[in-house]
Structure 1
Amino acid sequence: MKRFVRKSISIGGTWIGARYIYRELLFPFFFSIGVVTFVLLANFLIKSVDRLLGKGLPGSVIFEFLYLNLAWIIAMSVPMAVLVASLMAYGRLAEDNEITAMRASGISFLTILGPGIVFGFFVAVFMVFFHNNILPDFNHKARLLSGDIYRKRPGLNIEPGYFMDDIPDYSIYVKEKSGEHLRKITIYNKDSQSVQTTIYADSGYLEIDGNTVLFTLYSGEIHELDIGNLQDYRRTDFRKHRIAIPVDNLMLERRDSARRGDREMTIGMMRANVKKYAGERDKILEKMQKLVKTEIDTTGALEIKEIKKIIEYRKEQNLTNLPKKEADIENRRLNSLYTRLQGEANLAFSYQKQVNKYQVEIHKKYSIPFACIVFIIIGAPLGVMTRRGGIAVAATLSILFFLVYYVFLIGGEELADMVIIPPFWAMWTPNILLMLIGIYLIYYAMWEQKTVDFSRLLKFFRKKIKRQALKTLKT
């Protein structure tokens, strides 16, 4: 530790000290990415089991499905990993009194914090690139593959001794099965309501060719009975008989689509959409302004509530000043005008919602990466205050702050989508609030220099986790 301090304060030694802190940050950063990604991926896999099992999907498709969904998981895990890394790195330095030694040697806390902020900055720059260039394509391909998997019919699962009804209009019973070879086969054809067809075979096998199921049967009989005329009965013996049954979506059909959702677009694509929808909105507002000016002879009242008040006032004036017949005609015209303006206002509002939706995603591509810097500003002083470099404290505090961050982020996104608050404030408010908390923590760490005990918080979380685990085991 003393050798490190001497190097840190020697000529050119500041860079050596920075490299030392970078090394302290790297291992917990990558370790945290691995752990958080594994937890989120396992949770996603559990939720997707019902969608994947029973579809007869090859392992390569399942692997591709998980791989494509890994992008949004990494987008979530990296900011949290930065927070865990800063808590562990600076907590370890404080626990071993290296922070105290550096500050005693004249190195300010802000200087010690500098390498962490630089580290967070480079991670944030990479995440902006990731959010804009990698994540949209992965989200697009994941959505298409998910739709293809959903449309695919379950794989044919023939169990001896049970009827199989997976093929439409057919019911199949097999007494014995060895691989693809079947024995004692009964096939009921329910395709026709006028003729009942039943096929019996001593043996046979099943093949799948594209979206067609092929049965090759040996030594059997075909029984056909006319439901309308029970005396019309036919029986046909065969040595070999083949049945081809077309089944839609039996095989996984990969489809492509040029249409993309807002989370599947780059910033450039979304800005083009913002420009398009904002232009449509402005055209409607301009049209409304002209209507208001020409029809009710007023300007500046574009709010639909204000227009309604003006129209109601005009209707009252008409009833007072005009003969009843003329007043009724004029008021019907005003009612028709208000209905038209209300429709135009609703259309303009829908365009504004589209504008907000894309602006939210544009800001999100910057605000979430910027959270990496904010989490350094929070994590470093917290680590110094706790003086604990272990994973337990770091993970607990990280989960706490991360939950707060995402609650504000998701809440802000919903409010912006409903055109209640501007997209900028919706996406940047969590960063601003946590930044203010981080600045206070830096001030506290610089001047108070007191150790904060989070043992009670840890005990609380451990109890909650144990209770949840017991509930899960009981269910």
Structure 2
Amino acid sequence: MKILDRYILSRFLYNFFSSFFILIVIFIFQGIWLFIDDLAGKGLGIVIIGKFIFYFIPTLVDKVLPLTVLLSSILTFGTFAENYEFAAMKASGISLQRGMRSLIVFVLFLGVVTFFFANNIIPKSEQKMFNLRRNIAKVKPAAAITEGVFSDFEGTGQGMNIKVEKKYGEQDRFLENVIIHKKTKQSVNNTVIKAKSGELISSEDSDIIQLVLKDGNYYEELKPKNAKEKKKHPFAKSKFETYTINIDISELNEQNLEEDQNITTDKMKNVFRLVKDIDSLGKNNVEKVEAFSKNIVTRMGGFPISIEKDSLKIAAIPGVPVDTLMQKDTILSVEDLLGTLKEWQEMQVVSNAKNSVTGILNTVKSKKDELQKRFKFYNSHILSLHKKYALAFSCIILFFVGAPLGAIIRKGGLGLPMVIAIILFLSYYFIGVFAGNYAKEGNISSVLGAWLSTLIMLPMGISLTRRATADKGLIGIGHIIDGIKQFFINLRKKLSKK
């Protein structure tokens, strides 16, 4: 490697890793606010919180890495242009493309590494973070109770929903204004318990957690066998000063925080798994639609299978003249059909048809929501698959946007380059977000939704590279003015000839 290539590469790498470190820290603090309720005041150890942040960092790469490439390229080439280092290179016969050669090799290598990271590391990290959050809630029941909403307690021997207005004290063990819905074996909430305060009491040597409720009421809906009594909706009510609920956590104490459960979302899957699931989901959706279509056609009685009118076969029908069967249908409209019926028959036919159509419409509406969810899930898989490739290409394309842009604006430091980089990245990011949402809903192609922001940046990179190579400014209107002048000159010549 020549001295110039080493110099340019070293300056770029310095800006690259500095920008990456700063941005990743900013995004970590921004992301922690999303999970502050899961971490703060839960009595979690530093090791568990550290693991959570460690698993969270790879999920930020799809946002941080494109911005880092864009910012570091603008900083590097902006500093070169500001210090007249580019002018010295061009005076020595070194073009912009020649100066970018070592960085192009690095960015291509970075694209390959980014795809490997997006395909293997990020899905595993998403899975680890998801399971860690869920397992924390299982190991520490107090952490599973969120203030102001109902929290589910499953797999504890007795299912229940718990809502508290406020938690306080050591490890949030004291509860205020507690509402509990106890579930039957059929998962029916027929018992409600309300208490002004409560306390979670546990011991490391015991598999039982005691939920001690104070100053409350107990309501239970009764299920009498007599049908007449059921219409009265009877229930039992009792008041208590102290009421204790024992929760068996023997299964929860064996919970491993690092245990990997089933992969549930498209973000947790690599390319091989996504391709496999896309194929199976597509076939399954088609089967669901075809089965539903056949069901609706059968219920409507419409679209009968056409049978060729073979006179030989028709003649085989005993007691029916061939000429009558070969004639076309004489009923050409609904009015013709109703005209052949009596008034009471007409009302009955119309009523039955109306009820049938209403039932079919209700079935279609209910099935529509289910099918929309299925196709949205299917589209999200296609979107995730192509986003892995688009992320790798975006790093390459954004480099060809940032490098010539830095050479054009001729400013180094974290002032103007930072502002321009943030504006370009936000445009790139929000276009990707909106396109992704439209793609999930099926409004645009899922492939286009993943690639749209990258494809928009591609012509910008080509245009900026050409302008930087030709030593043109960022916004050039000289050629437009020249074109207008030439138009009027040609127009004047034509008029003078006449």
TM-score range, shorter chain: 0.5 to 0.7
Contact map agreement 1:416 1:423 (CA 8 A) in 2: yes
Structure 1, 248-257 or 359-368: larger mean CA deviation: 248-257
Give the residue type in structure 2 aligned to 1:73: L
- Cα drift, residue 117 of structure 1: 3.1
Task: Provide the rounded CA distance (Å) in 2 between the counterparts of 1:90 and 1:405.
Answer: 21
Q: What runs of 5+ residues in structure 1 fail to find an aligned partner? A: 1-12, 170-192, 194-205, 215-242, 300-314, 453-475
Give the residue type in structure 2 aligned to 1:425: L
Residues 66 and 344 from structure 1, CA distance in 2 versus in 1: closer, same or farther, beyond 3 angstroms?
closer
Give the residue type in structure 1 aligned to 2:136: I
SS of match in other structure, 2:333 = helix
2:335 is equivalent to residue 319 of structure 1:
yes
Give 1:174-193 correspondences, 5 Å limit: none
Task: Provide the rounded CA distance (Å) in 1 between the counterparts of 2:376 and 2:353.
Answer: 32
Alignment partner, residue 418 of structure 1: 441
Contact map agreement 1:154 1:166 (CA 8 A) in 2: no
SS of match in other structure, 2:204 = strand
Summarize deviations over 1:22-77 as a string: whole Å, max 9, x none: 22211111111110011111223344344323221121111111111111123321
TM-score by length of 2: 0.62
Alignment partner, residue 491 of structure 2: none
2:410 is equivalent to residue 406 of structure 1:
no
Give 1:187-202 correspondences, 5 Å limit: none
SS of match in other structure, 1:388 = coil
2:315 is equivalent to residue 281 of structure 1:
no
Task: Provide the rounded CA distance (Å) in 1 between the counterparts of 2:447 and 2:455.
Answer: 11
Q: Which of 118, 123, 127 is matched with 2:110 structurally? A: 123
Contact map agreement 2:55 2:128 (CA 8 A) in 1: yes
Task: Provide the rounded CA distance (Å) in 1 between the counterparts of 2:421 and 2:271.
Answer: 29
Give the residue type in structure 2 aligned to 1:148: N
Residues 71 and 392 from structure 1, CA distance in 2 versus in 1: closer, same or farther, beyond 3 angstroms?
same
Alignment partner, residue 41 of structure 2: 54
Contact map agreement 1:88 1:389 (CA 8 A) in 2: yes
Task: Provide the rounded CA distance (Å) in 2 between the counterparts of 1:297 and 1:19.
Answer: 76
Residues 451 and 434 from structure 1, CA distance in 2 versus in 1: closer, same or farther, beyond 3 angstroms?
closer
- Cα drift, residue 298 of structure 1: 8.8
- What percent of counterpart residues are identical? 24
Q: What runs of 5+ residues in structure 2 fail to find an aligned partner? A: 144-166, 179-192, 194-201, 211-243, 307-330, 476-498
Residues 387 and 50 from structure 1, CA distance in 2 versus in 1: closer, same or farther, beyond 3 angstroms?
same
Give 1:181-330 correspondences, 5 Å limit: 208-209=204-205, 211-212=207-208, 253=255, 254=257, 256-287=260-291, 295-297=302-304, 317-322=333-338, 323-324=340-341, 325=345, 328=350
Alignment partner, residue 78 of structure 1: 65
Give the residue type in structure 2 aligned to 1:94: A
- Root-mean-square deviation (CA, aligned residues, Å) is 3.9
Structure 1, 136-145 or 343-352: larger mean CA deviation: 343-352
Residues 46 and 285 from structure 1, CA distance in 2 versus in 1: closer, same or farther, beyond 3 angstroms?
closer
How many residues were matched structurally? Answer: 359
Residues 208 and 166 from structure 1, CA distance in 2 versus in 1: closer, same or farther, beyond 3 angstroms?
farther
Give the residue type in structure 1 aligned to 2:174: D
Summarize deviations over 1:404-432 as a string: whole Å, max 9, x none: 11111111111111110011111111011
SS of match in other structure, 1:55 = coil
Summarize deviations over 1:99-147 as a string: whole Å, max 9, x none: 2232333333333334333322211111111111111111111011112
Contact map agreement 2:168 2:174 (CA 8 A) in 1: no
